[in-house]
């Protein structure tokens, strides 16, 4: 995967226990509690992330990874993507017990510092890869980021972590071209917005058609000004499975990367396209995540010296998400933990896992966007 003579650097992992201390309160899934909604557990709770870290620990893989220490992002780093007014507003409310930010995001006491630690963790992952301390890196951060807008939080996200890390690569580390490949089941609207007119970034989002945000992520959203053509949305129909995603990656994502020639690939990585997720209606299994990761690693190896950073986004099925993440991280580091995903056979056996005609129509339409990159 890297140079033949020197031993390959390890895969990096960003994690901090404080990521699990961000408190989203007692919503019921995504609904604020209060009659008639019985208080429950917020979909974006710590378990889906902490259990990934725990499975890496239990399988022995954790000690084979390079621990990348996160730090809080600075105001200067946050302001490359967000407005001063938004940051001031967050600071004014940072001691509130639970305060809604925008549409469906929540901060609790201490959450602002944790959100800054999440954004800073993604920056550190980029630095570790650019400095070759890590061959590639997975930033297991929380809260997630890819819905956060310039002026507001959205969809459980406070800061647009991946975009902030990408801006760091461009503005501080001197890269000229970076590509985002967002496989979270929801549209990466925050990353799209951050680079809408910026031809230095190719933003690709593969997601469920109009799942969240509503009416966002359509194929006609292609960027503006100098960035026209450098935003590619592939809104797949609900029910898409391994075959549809394989086709999208082979026929749209990889050719787009080949044309754009990024110097680094950043993957806003959600596992809510998994077959058991409560907030998505897709059918990906761990075998699919393994295969898609392999395709991205091959692209990174051939185009940008293996530079690949994943930043954690959604994924809400606490029992199954850790096995999807294990498949991705095993593939990134080239080490098998020897642990099988107990949920994989059933998901792989779901009907219509192969590319279906109505999904093929979307792939064909997305292929027509590729000349926009020339």
Cα 45 to chain center, whole Å? 17
Query: How many angstroms separate the CA atoms of 270 and 140, rounded?
Result: 11
Return the SS3 of 336: coil
The active-site residue out of 16, 147, 186, 207 is 147
Identity of the residue, 11 or 161, whose beta carbon is nearer to Zn ion in the bound complex: 161
Judged by CB, which is closer to Zn ion: 49, or 186?
A: 186
CA distances (Å), 259 to each of 214, 229, 254, in order? 30, 12, 9
* Strand bridging mode 201-208 / 105-108: unpaired
CB 298 → Zn ion: shortest distance, Å? 25
Burial class (CB in 10 A: 0-12, 13-18, 19+), 25: middle
Q: Does 147 bind Zn ion (CB under 5 A)?
A: no
Burial class of residue 215 (count of CB atoms within 10 Å of its CB; 0-12, 13-18, 19+):
exposed
Please tell me whether residue 152 binds Zn ion under the rule CB under 5 A: no
Q: What would the x/- binding string for Zn ion be over residues 257 to 296, using CB under 5 A?
A: -------------x-x------------------------
Tell me how far, at minimum, the Cβ of 255 lies from Zn ion, in Å: 25
The only residue of 72, 124, 127, 184 in contact with Zn ion, by rule CB under 5 A: 184
The SS3 call for residue 267 is: strand
Q: Determine the Cα–Cα distance for residues 114 and 324; give it in Å rounded to an integer.
A: 25
Q: Is 147 one of the annotated active-site residues of the chain?
A: yes
Q: Give the range of 24-32, 122-130, 157-165, 306-314 binding Zn ion by CB under 5 A.
A: 306-314
The interface region with Zn ion, picked from 100-108, 166-174, 227-235, 307-315 by CB under 5 A, is 307-315
Nearer to Zn ion, 123 or 157 (CB): 157
Q: Shortest Cβ distance from residue 20 to Zn ion (Å)? A: 18
Q: Which single residue is written with the structure tokens 């997305």?
A: 366
We find the least distance from the C-beta atom of residue 43 to Zn ion, in angstroms, to be: 10
Nearer to Zn ion, 227 or 275 (CB): 275
What DSSP designation does 227 have? Answer: G
Residues designated as active site? 147
């Amino acid at each position: 995967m890297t140079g033949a003579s020197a031993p390959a650097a390890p895969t990096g992992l960003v994690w901090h226990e404080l990521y699990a201390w961000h408190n989203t309160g007692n919503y019921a899934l995504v609904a604020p509690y209060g009659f008639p909604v019985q208080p429950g557990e917020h979909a974006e709770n710590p378990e889906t992330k902490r259990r990934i870290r725990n499975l890496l620990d239990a399988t022995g893989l954790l000690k084979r990874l390079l621990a990348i220490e996160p730090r809080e992002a600075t105001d200067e780093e946050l302001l490359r993507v967000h407005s001063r007014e938004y940051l001031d507003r967050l600071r004014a409310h940072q001691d509130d017990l639970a305060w809604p930010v925008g549409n469906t995001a929540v901060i609790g006491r201490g959450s602002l510092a944790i959100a800054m630690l999440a954004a800073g963790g993604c920056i550190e992952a980029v630095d570790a890869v650019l400095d070759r301390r890590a061959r590639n890196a997975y930033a297991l951060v929380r809260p997630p980021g890819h819905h956060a807008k310039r002026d507001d939080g959205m969809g459980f996200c406070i800061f647009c972590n991946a975009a902030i890390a990408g801006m760091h690569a461009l503005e501080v580390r001197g890269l000229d071209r970076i590509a985002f490949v967002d496989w979270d089941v929801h549209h990466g609207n925050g990353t799209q917005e951050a680079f809408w007119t910026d031809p230095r970034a190719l933003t690709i989002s593969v997601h469920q058609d109009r799942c969240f945000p509503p009416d966002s992520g359509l194929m006609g959203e292609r960027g503006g000004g100098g960035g026209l053509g450098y935003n590619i949305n592939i809104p797949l129909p609900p029910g898409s499975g391994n075959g549809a995603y394989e086709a999208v990656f082979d026929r749209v994502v990889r050719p787009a990367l080949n044309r754009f020639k990024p110097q680094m690939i950043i993957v806003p990585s959600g596992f809510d396209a998994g077959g058991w997720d409560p907030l998505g209606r897709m059918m990906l299994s761990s075998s699919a995540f393994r295969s898609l990761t392999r395709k991205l690693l091959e692209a990174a190896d051939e185009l940008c010296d293996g530079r690949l950073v994943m930043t954690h986004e959604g994924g809400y099925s606490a029992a199954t998400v850790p096995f999807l993440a294990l498949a991705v991280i095993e593939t990134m580091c080239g080490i098998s933990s020897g642990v099988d995903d107990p949920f994989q056979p059933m998901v792989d056996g779901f009907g219509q896992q192969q590319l279906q005609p109505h999904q093929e129509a979307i792939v064909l339409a997305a292929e027509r966007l590729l000349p926009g990159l020339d």
